[in-house]
């Protein structure tokens, strides 16, 4: 199996190759710019000299040939600039992958606040939506919709959790597994998205345009009427040609143009709609057509996911091709003389308006489906990229017949490999409550977050930071990052009490087994009442259908294991050597044998 070192080397090599290619393209671009300027000056001077010296025919031949050559180099210049833009995006993607691999937050693009609004308790406690959180580490797509999908998958909120089954999660795993192998597809999809949109897509204006109802009743009948007048014009021209009539033509032409402008209400939005389709929808269609054209034949789960793009009668390419010629035709509006001639020949605006309306009807039902599938694909690609960059991570195995967590070499995905410490532990029906005691800074809070964030990853369909993990379905709750509120007049302790009350109420109503993570239970109050309250809460949790992992500084609580058979004591500890304190961050069985608060005070020069 390829390891992270190999991936790092591959990405570094790729970045260097892309930078070399970019340098060559920039040099080529400068050369083409210079050639264009040279051609322009030479042709202009030759034309001027030949024209002034009375070699006019030769002058115009030189001008014509020069114009053709200039246009060729202009198109070549445009092609090179397009290639430069694409290579720059590929360099950007490669650099971001290196940063994600090394968890280098400075070089991982930040997610705008639009993506991170209204975080849930779990998202706050487990660093999902934080500035340096899991969403930012994983998501590399272009749309707000894509990150919303991923955020929903990572959200352990009960509203979403009860709807999902293990079959759905396993289906996600299959899609992520297939995409993990398709590095080129993931990269090209991301390239196509970023090339089409300069910035992340916050608002899709197309949806509101599709929903807008235009009152064009009678458009077809009016177009038939104008077409009949046009036909009448042709007949009169023939009659004039054969000298059958002599003076009726101008009256009929005038009548045609009068009715053409009387019906302007039918075509007033035609130009805007055409421009909108060209500038907005075409960007999305470029992405949709890329998905449509890609052959997923060997990947049955991706084939099923992308089915809406590949329905022959209503594929993005087929629907857009029907309107593309009309859109190009509308560009001729920029030339009033040409457009007037077209208007004289056929009721061009009305015919195009009918085509745009038909396009709108065809796209109205299909576009939201394509859009949502693209959002899903972005989320899946982000998870697949996360799996590719972390080859030592594994897909979890789900257990339905019993409640358990069995984790081997579990680590925190937001901690860089060189600083990460892994732990193994298990919980089952004989060990439903884990009470963790330990010194300050020894790793208790990080362990709780490690368990929680990996469980959310598991339920999203992602790989997890473990060598192996077996997991049942738990409704996850947490009380880790609690804070006071000056605005609401809520103290730290009262905020914690409210959070715990919320959890207990949810547990009572929950149909599934819950897993509760509580850090430093009741740390906002005095020692005596904290111990009494903590014991009562632990006993209450033991009576319910709940697995719990609770950390505490209170060594008095370890004795509660004598009253609750399903409670198991674990601890983290510090190491003092040569008056220096260090931690191994390894979880061990039993109560913590040491304390370190006074030692820390002493080491920092405080009175003890």
* Average pLDDT taken over every residue of the chain: 84
How confident is residue 340, by pLDDT bands cut at 50, 70 and 90? confident
CATH of domain 397-604: 3.40.50.300
CA pair distance 301, 161, nearest whole angstrom = 22
Reported in sequence order, the residue ranges of 450-591 that DSSP labels E, i.e. its strands, are: 468-471, 475-479, 514-518, 546-552, 567-572, 574-577, 580-583, 588-589
Q: What is the DSSP letter of 466?
A: S
CA pair distance 7, 417, nearest whole angstrom = 14
- Give pLDDT, residue 489: 47
CA pair distance 292, 311, nearest whole angstrom = 9
- Residues 172-213: pLDDT tens digits? 999 999 999 999 999 999 999 988 876 665 556 677 667 666
CA pair distance 209, 275, nearest whole angstrom = 12
CA pair distance 581, 574, nearest whole angstrom = 7
Strand-pair category, 567-572 with 588-589: antiparallel
Q: What is the DSSP letter of 413?
A: T
Exposure letters 294-322 (e unless 16+ CB within 10 A, then b): bebeebebbeebbebbbeeebbbbebbee
Backbone angles phi, psi at 425, to 5 degrees: -160, 170
* Rama region for 579: left / alpha / beta (φ>0; ψ in -120 to 50; rest): left
- Give pLDDT, residue 323: 73
- Residues 296 and 309 sit within 8 Å (Cβ to Cβ): no
Mean pLDDT along residues 245-263: 72
- Give pLDDT, residue 487: 44
- Give pLDDT, residue 495: 83
Q: What is the DSSP letter of 143?
A: B
CA pair distance 540, 498, nearest whole angstrom = 16
Mean pLDDT along residues 443-462: 94
**CA 373, 376, 382, 383 torsion-angle sign:** negative
Residue 149: which of 374, 477, 463, 387 has the closest Cα?
374
How confident is residue 374, by pLDDT bands cut at 50, 70 and 90? very high
- Residues 2-38: pLDDT tens digits? 788 899 999 999 999 999 999 999 999 999 999 999 9
This model's pTM is above 0.95 = no
- Residues 58-95: pLDDT tens digits? 888 888 888 899 889 988 998 999 999 999 999 999 99
């Amino acid at each position: 199996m390829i390891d992270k070192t190999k991936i790092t080397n591959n990405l570094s090599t790729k970045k260097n190759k892309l930078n070399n290619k970019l340098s060559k393209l920039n040099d080529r671009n400068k050369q083409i710019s210079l050639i264009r300027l040279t051609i322009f000056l030479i042709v202009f001077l030759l034309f001027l000299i030949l024209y002034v010296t009375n070699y006019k025919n030769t002058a115009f031949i030189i001008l014509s040939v020069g114009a053709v050559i200039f246009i060729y180099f202009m198109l070549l210049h445009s092609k090179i600039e397009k290639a430069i833009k694409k290579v720059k995006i590929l360099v950007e993607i490669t650099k971001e992958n290196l940063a994600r691999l090394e968890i280098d937050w400075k070089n991982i693009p930040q997610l705008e606040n639009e993506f991170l609004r209204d975080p849930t308790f779990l998202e706050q406690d487990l660093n999902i939506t934080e500035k340096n959180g899991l969403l930012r580490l994983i998501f590399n797509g272009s749309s707000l919709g894509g990150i919303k999908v991923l955020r929903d998958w990572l959200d352990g909120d009960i509203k979403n959790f009860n709807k999902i089954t293990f079959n759905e999660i396993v289906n996600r795993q299959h899609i992520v597994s297939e995409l993990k192998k398709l590095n080129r597809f993931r990269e090209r999809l991301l390239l196509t998205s970023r090339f089409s949109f300069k910035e992340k897509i916050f608002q899709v204006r197309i949806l509101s345009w599709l929903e807008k109802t235009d009152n064009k009743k009678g458009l077809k009948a009016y177009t038939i009427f104008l077409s009949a007048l046009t036909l009448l014009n042709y007949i009169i021209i023939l009659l004039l040609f054969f000298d059958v009539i002599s003076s009726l033509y101008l009256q009929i032409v005038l009548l045609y143009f009068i009715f053409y402008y009387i019906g302007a209400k039918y075509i007033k939005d035609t130009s805007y709609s055409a421009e909108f389709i060209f500038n907005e929808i075409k960007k999305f269609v470029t992405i949709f057509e890329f998905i449509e054209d890609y052959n997923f034949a060997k990947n049955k789960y991706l084939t099923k996911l992308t089915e809406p793009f590949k329905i022959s009668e209503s594929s993005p390419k087929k629907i857009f091709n029907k309107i593309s010629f009309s859109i190009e035709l509308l560009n001729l509006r920029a030339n009033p003389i040409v457009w007037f001639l077209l208007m004289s020949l056929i009721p061009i605006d009305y015919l195009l308006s009918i085509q745009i309306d038909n396009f709108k009807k065809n796209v109205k039902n299909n576009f939201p489906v394509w859009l949502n599938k693209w959002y899903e694909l972005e989320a899946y690609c982000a998870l697949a990229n996360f799996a590719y960059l972390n080859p030592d991570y594994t897909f979890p195995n789900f257990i339905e017949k019993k409640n358990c967590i069995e984790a081997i070499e579990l680590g925190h995905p937001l901690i860089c490999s060189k600083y990460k410490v892994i732990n193994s532990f298990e919980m089952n029906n004989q060990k439903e409550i884990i009470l963790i005691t330990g010194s300050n800074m020894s790793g208790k809070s990080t362990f709780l977050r490690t368990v929680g964030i990996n469980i959310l990853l598991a339920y999203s369909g992602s790989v997890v930071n473990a060598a192996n993990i077996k997991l049942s379905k738990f409704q996850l709750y947490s009380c880790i990052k609690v804070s006071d509120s000056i605005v609401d007049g809520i103290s730290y302790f009262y905020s914690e009490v409210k959070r715990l009350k919320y959890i207990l109420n949810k547990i009572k109503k929950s149909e599934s087994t819950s897993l509760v993570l509580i850090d430093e239970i009741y740390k906002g109050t005095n020692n005596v009442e904290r111990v009494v309250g903590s014991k009562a809460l632990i006993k209450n949790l033991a009576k319910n259908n709940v697995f719990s992992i609770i950390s505490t500084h209170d060594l008095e609580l370890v004795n509660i294991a004598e009253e609750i058979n399903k409670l198991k004591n674990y601890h983290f500890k510090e190491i003092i050597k040569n008056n220096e304190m260090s931690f191994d961050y390894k979880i061990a069985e039993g109560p913590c044998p040491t304390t370190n608060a006074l030692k820390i005070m002493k080491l920092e020069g405080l009175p003890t």
